């Protein structure tokens, strides 16, 4: 729920929604992004969101995404691209992943700016892996990551291979 403006475009293939883009300028937003997650409460959020369902994964993008949370936590405009190919992610929804599927998992993350403290503080409200939430809560990172480019092969929790480039300032 929230108040403001949304302009959206939908991608439809063979009668099925497979993606879309939305420009938002909203205030007083409350959203629960998954079962057992705390609501995300934002005083304001602006920017562009995009999502695309792939044959074996998904892509999520943001452009100039900025928000101010109800508790005063804020994030200036950021651009982000996240792609995950699950080696049969749609089949895994119904059954456990096989070793071959896990071996095919891969992903990519690009971001112009990531405030590590903001990510750690809102992690309990985001649909992240439970282990990722625990790690973020335990280490409580602080700092700003800029010009991030990361990729991995294999399960994100245990990648066989990964590569990451970027600059981090004020890390603690």
DSSP 127-147: ---HHHHHHHHHH---SEEEE
User: How far, in Å, CA of 106 to CA of 132, rounded?
Assistant: 17
- 108-132 mean pLDDT: 88
The pLDDT confidence band at residue 144, using thresholds 50, 70 and 90, is very high
**Least confident stretch, 58-62, 87-91, 117-121:** 87-91
pLDDT digits (tens, 9 = 90+) for 31-65: 998 888 888 999 999 999 999 999 899 999 999 99
Span between the terminal Cα atoms of the chain, in Å? 35
Say whether pLDDT at 3 is over 50: yes
- Mean pLDDT over 14-18 rounds to 93
Residue 100 confidence (pLDDT): 56
Residue corresponding to tokens 């800029």: 146
Residue 29 or 102, more confident:
29
Q: Over the stretch 62-79, which tens digit does the pLDDT of each residue have?
A: 999 999 999 888 998 899
Q: Which residue has the higher pLDDT, 4 or 127?
A: 4
Looking at per-residue pLDDT, the higher value among 155 and 25 belongs to 25
Q: pLDDT higher for 13 or 128?
A: 13
Hey, is 125 helix, strand or coil?
helix
| Short-list 149, 7, 170, CA closest to 80 | 149
By percentage, how much of the chain surpasses pLDDT 70? 90
Bridge-based pairing of strands 3-13 and 106-115 is unpaired
């Amino acid at each position: 729920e929230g108040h403001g403006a949304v302009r959206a475009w939908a991608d439809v293939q063979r009668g099925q929604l497979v993606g879309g883009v939305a420009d938002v300028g909203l205030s007083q937003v409350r959203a629960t992004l998954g079962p057992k997650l705390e609501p995300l409460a934002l005083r304001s959020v602006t920017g562009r969101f995009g999502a695309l369902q792939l044959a074996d994964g998904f892509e999520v993008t943001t452009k100039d995404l900025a928000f101010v949370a109800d508790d005063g936590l804020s994030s200036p405009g950021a651009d982000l691209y996240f792609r995950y190919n699950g080696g049969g992610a749609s089949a895994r929804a119904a059954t456990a992943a096989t070793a071959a599927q896990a071996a095919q998992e891969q992903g990519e993350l690009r971001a112009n700016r990531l405030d590590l403290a903001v990510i750690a503080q809102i992690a309990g409200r985001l649909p992240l892996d439970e282990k990722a939430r625990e790690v973020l809560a335990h280490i409580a990172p602080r700092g700003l990551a800029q010009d991030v480019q990361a990729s991995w092969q294999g399960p994100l929790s245990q990648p066989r291979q990964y590569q990451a480039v970027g600059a981090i300032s004020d890390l603690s």
